[in-house]
């Protein structure tokens, strides 16, 4: 596992987000960057404000769904975009920080809004190279 | 999809016999080419739905079926509450009661041509659309609860539209049994500033002209004639519906295991209709249906304001308003007996035939209008429900073209500005805040809507009435 990164996965009607990291927490952070990439270019979002988010779930996969859904909710109600994330996972609890700024259509090239994260193609697992993958399809 | 696993019953009807844990057969309505193009996931999902407790007759897939969440998009399934039947959040979808509303303008293409740009600008300015857009009204707790129980009827009371509009909306604009207390504070907060907004993705507002009349008599009853201009709105229950879908997916996953329901796919999460979670979801989902109906009613008002700036005193009466992500209690004849069923339609439109009491009296002789949305470069269709369709799939039909290409692939293939220019050269004006969104929604990324409609028509699910082509399209 050389580096943390994210990617978008093709899906018929919607789109998949995948985060890769050296740890589970890093994979969750990268999956969140991929979530941003569905909406806009993550690098165009200035990390001006920090929002703290915590969530919990009975297993790692549902924890990823809950984490992404918490971000969808915070972006929707604050009319903000996040571009940088920090995640700490303790057992079934996730403590996250998201940095971003208010949506500015002049600055951010906007794609689609995300309705919610789903259990489709949902996977949180250790890869053969020792790195972590965290992925699922999001409904847009 | 591999054809060898299907048994062809007629040109447009394919069966999968019950096997494994399937309780009933699965039936796909489509032509052979449409089936070949369908994702293998449709086979998996339509057969998975057939394993759920209390399912009646069969698990159905419409001609536009594609890979969904648990249920295929284009899936129809009915459940009997008395036989441990279930209700599924995935069987309704995230965008609860997303649907299409079509307004008649009484104008012709010739009348519109000289003012097309101005009208496009007015509509674009007046109807909030796209990521992060805010509506023109903000609801407090009390108003939110009134909206959730009142739907489009509430919106009319607030001054958005007229009482006459309600007669042309399913359930007269308000589904009973909504329980605002089952809608979480988070769902309400997400909706607070989103009333009267279009959203993004495949949602749109289109000025269209009638380019072909297929059934003259029904078209006349619907108020459609060759060259006539109509306006269609495609959107749903916005953040409120999305949040309810999200929350109940998790709650139902837990409920299913508590009730010993064996789920072949986590996304099929469901709960017995007669259970606390099942009842809570019904109350919340009906609130979201009312939210979608209110939303389209408010947008109708904003559309009328825009039109009136150019055409004073224009009425813009409703042709109809259909929802395509719902679960509704309906009576259907099954093996000669009347049954009260919970009919899930995920990416499928209700299509009740002539004579059905749920069809407005003024349209009852010809059947319910079925509004099928296409792409901004091709066409939309108006169909009518049939009596044959009542027996085939609980009075249901397709809902749109369905994507043939992922958003990712579309972004690599097209630039939004090129799509806009290309459509302009074909006489279609696009207004959008998002060129990236336009590229993702390029007409070439969708299946051929005409083939889907033809299959629905030939299968007997609904009857083709008219073809509509876009003139102006507002995208989120």
Residues of B in contact with A77 (CB under 8 A): 189-190, 192, 239
Q: How far apart are CA B171 and CA B266, in angstroms?
A: 32
Residues of A in contact with B73 (CB under 8 A): 13
Residues of B in contact with A113 (CB under 8 A): 130-132, 199-201, 476
Using only C-alpha atoms, chain B has a radius of gyration, in whole angstroms, of: 21
End-to-end CA, chain B: 33
DSSP state for residue B244 in the 8-state scheme: H
pLDDT at A2: 58
- The catalytically annotated residue of B209, B234, B301, B399 is B399
Q: What value does the mean pLDDT take over residues A59-87?
A: 96
Domains of chain B: 3-404+446-475 (3.90.1860.10)
pLDDT(A7) > 70: yes
Residues of B in contact with A140 (CB under 8 A): 200-201, 407
CA proximity to B286, closest of B318, B329, B247: B329
Q: Which two tokens stand for residue A48?
A: 């001006």
User: If phi over 0 gives left and psi between -120 and 50 gives alpha, with beta otherwise, what is residue A73?
Assistant: alpha
B243 touches chain A (CB under 8 A): yes
Whether ipTM tops 0.85, in short, is yes
Comparing alpha-carbon positions, the chain A residue that sits nearest to B406 is A12
Residue B356 is among the residues annotated as catalytic for this protein: no
Q: How far apart are CA A92 and CA A97, in angstroms?
A: 17
Q: Strand A80-90: give its sheet, edge to edge.
A: A49-56, A93-102, A80-90
User: Are B201 and A14 in contact, with CB atoms under 8 Å apart?
Assistant: no
pLDDT at A104: 92
User: Are B429 and B471 in contact, with CB atoms under 8 Å apart?
Assistant: yes
Q: What value does the mean pLDDT take over residues A87-94?
A: 96
Comparing alpha-carbon positions, the chain A residue that sits nearest to B190 is A77
Comparing alpha-carbon positions, the chain A residue that sits nearest to B67 is A12
pLDDT at A71: 98
- Per DSSP, the three-state class of A111 is coil
Residues of A in contact with B193 (CB under 8 A): 79
Residues of B in contact with A12 (CB under 8 A): 39, 41, 66-67, 403, 406
Q: How far apart are CA B201 and CA B197, in angstroms?
A: 13
pLDDT digits (tens, 9 = 90+) for B82-133: 999 999 999 999 899 999 999 999 999 999 999 999 999 999 999 999 888 8
Residues of A in contact with B124 (CB under 8 A): none
CA proximity to A61, closest of A27, A112, A21: A27
Q: Which two tokens stand for residue A57?
A: 């779930």
pLDDT at B69: 87
pLDDT(A139) > 70: yes
pLDDT digits (tens, 9 = 90+) for A10-65: 877 789 999 999 999 999 999 999 999 999 999 999 999 999 999 999 899 999 99
Q: What is the dihedral sign for C-alpha B403, B409, B413, B415? A: positive
| Contact (CB<8Å) A119/B201 | no
Q: Which two tokens stand for residue A52?
A: 């703290």
CA distance B444 to chain A (A): 14
Residue to mutate among B45, B131, B447, with most A CBs inside 10 A, is: B131
CA distance A113 to chain B (A): 5
| Contact (CB<8Å) A122/B266 | yes
CA proximity to B90, closest of B256, B311, B269, B304: B269
CA distance B50 to chain A (A): 19
Comparing alpha-carbon positions, the chain A residue that sits nearest to B245 is A116
Q: How far apart are CA B440 and CA B87, in angstroms?
A: 33
Q: How far apart are CA B126 and CA B132, in angstroms?
A: 16
| Contact (CB<8Å) B246/A8 | no
CA distance A4 to chain B (A): 21
CA distance B246 to chain A (A): 6
pLDDT at A1: 59
Residues 6+ apart with CB under 8 A from A122: A61, A64, A65, A135, A136, A137, B266
Q: Pick B186's closest partner by Cβ from A39, A73, A111.
A: A73
Count of alpha carbons within 13 angstroms of residue B118, beta-carbon side: 10
Q: How far apart are CA B91 and CA B103, in angstroms?
A: 29
| Contact (CB<8Å) A119/B73 | no
Q: Which homologous superfamily is A5-139 in?
A: Archease domain (3.55.10.10)
**Which residue(s) pair with B99 in the sheet?**
B235, B323
| Contact (CB<8Å) B242/A116 | yes
CA proximity to B364, closest of B233, B203, B168: B168
| Contact (CB<8Å) B407/A14 | yes
pLDDT in tens, chain B (476 residues): 999 999 999 999 999 999 999 999 999 999 999 999 998 999 999 999 999 999 999 999 999 999 888 999 999 999 999 999 999 999 999 899 999 999 999 999 999 999 999 999 999 999 999 888 889 889 999 999 999 999 999 999 999 999 999 999 999 999 999 999 999 999 999 999 999 999 988 899 999 999 999 999 999 999 999 999 999 999 999 999 999 999 998 899 888 989 999 888 888 999 999 999 999 999 999 999 999 999 999 999 999 999 999 999 899 999 999 999 999 999 999 999 999 999 999 999 999 999 999 999 999 999 999 999 999 989 999 999 999 999 999 999 999 988 888 888 898 899 999 999 999 999 999 999 889 999 999 999 998 999 999 999 999 999 999 999 999 999 98
Helix or strand holding residue B24 (H, E): none
pLDDT at B110: 95
Length of chain A counted residue by residue:
140
**Would you tell me which residues 264-323 of chain B have a C-beta closer than 8 angstroms to some C-beta of chain A?**
266-267, 269
Using only C-alpha atoms, chain A has a radius of gyration, in whole angstroms, of: 14
**Which residue(s) pair with B79 in the sheet?**
B55, B342
How far lies A84's CA from each of A99, B225, B295, B301, in Å? 5, 54, 33, 40
């Amino acid at each position: 596992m050389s580096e943390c990164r994210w990617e978008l996965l093709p899906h018929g009607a919607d789109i998949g987000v995948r985060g890769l990291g050296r740890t589970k927490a890093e994979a969750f952070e990268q999956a969140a960057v991929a979530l941003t990439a569905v909406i806009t270019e993550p690098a165009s979002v200035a990390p001006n404000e920090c929002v703290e988010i915590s969530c919990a779930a009975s297993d790692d996969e549902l924890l990823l769904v809950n984490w992404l859904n918490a971000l969808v909710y915070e972006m929707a109600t604050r009319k903000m975009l996040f571009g940088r994330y920090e995640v700490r996972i303790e057992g079934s609890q996730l403590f996250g920080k998201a940095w971003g700024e208010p949506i500015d259509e002049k600055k951010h090239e906007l794609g689609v809004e995300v309705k919610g994260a789903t259990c489709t193609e949902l996977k949180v697992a250790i890869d053969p190279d020792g790195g972590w993958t965290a992925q699922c399809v999001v409904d847009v | 999809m591999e054809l060898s696993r299907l048994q062809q019953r007629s040109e447009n009807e394919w069966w999968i016999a019950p096997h494994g844990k399937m309780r009933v057969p699965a039936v796909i309505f489509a032509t052979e080419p449409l089936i070949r193009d369908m994702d293998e996931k449709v086979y998996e999902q339509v057969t998975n739905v057939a394993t759920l407790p209390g399912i009646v007759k069969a698990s159905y897939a419409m001609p536009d079926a594609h890979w969904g969440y648990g249920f295929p998009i284009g899936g129809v399934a009915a459940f009997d509450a008395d036989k441990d039947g279930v209700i599924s959040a995935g069987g309704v979808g995230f965008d609860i009661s997303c649907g299409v509303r079509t307004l008649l303008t009484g104008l012709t293409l010739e009348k519109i041509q000289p003012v097309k740009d101005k009208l496009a600008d007015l509509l674009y300015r007046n109807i909030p659309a796209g990521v992060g857009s805010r509506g023109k009204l903000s609801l407090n707790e009390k108003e939110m609860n009134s909206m959730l129980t009142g739907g489009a009827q509430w919106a009319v009371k607030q001054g958005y539209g007229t009482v006459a509009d309600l007669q042309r909306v399913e359930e007269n604009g308000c589904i009973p049994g909504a329980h605002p207390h089952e809608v979480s504070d988070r769902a309400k907060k997400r909706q607070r500033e989103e009333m009267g907004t279009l959203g993004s993705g495949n949602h749109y507002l289109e000025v269209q002209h009638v380019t072909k009349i297929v059934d003259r008599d029904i078209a006349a009853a619907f108020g459609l004639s060759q060259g006539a201009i109509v306006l269609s709105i495609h959107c749903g229950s916005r953040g409120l519906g999305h949040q309810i879908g999200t929350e109940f997916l998790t709650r139902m996953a837990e409920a299913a295991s508590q009730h010993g329901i064996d789920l072949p796919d986590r996304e099929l999460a469901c709960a017995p209709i007669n259970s606390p979670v099942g009842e809570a979801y019904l109350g919340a989902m009906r609130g979201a249906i009312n939210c979608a109906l209110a939303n389209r009613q408010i947008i109708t008002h904003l559309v009328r304001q825009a039109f009136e700036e150019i055409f004073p005193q224009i009425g813009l009466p409703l042709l109809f308003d259909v929802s395509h992500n719902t679960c509704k209690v309906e009576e259907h004849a099954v093996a000669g007996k009347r049954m009260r069923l919970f009919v899930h339609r995920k990416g499928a439109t209700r299509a009740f035939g002539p004579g059905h009491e749920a069809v407005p009296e003024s349209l009852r002789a010809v059947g319910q209008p079925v509004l099928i949305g296409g792409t901004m470069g091709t066409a939309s269709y108006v169909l009518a429900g049939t009596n044959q369709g009542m027996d085939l799939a609980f009075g249901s039909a397709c809902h749109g073209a369905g994507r043939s290409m992922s958003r990712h692939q579309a972004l690599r293939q097209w630039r939004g500005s090129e799509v806009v220019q290309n459509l302009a050269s074909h006489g279609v004006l696009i207004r959008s805040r998002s060129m990236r969104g336009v590229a993702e929604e390029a007409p070439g990324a969708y299946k051929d809507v005409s083939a889907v409609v033809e299959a629905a028509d030939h299968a007997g699910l609904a009857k083709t009435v008219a073809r509509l082509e876009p003139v102006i399209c507002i995208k989120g």
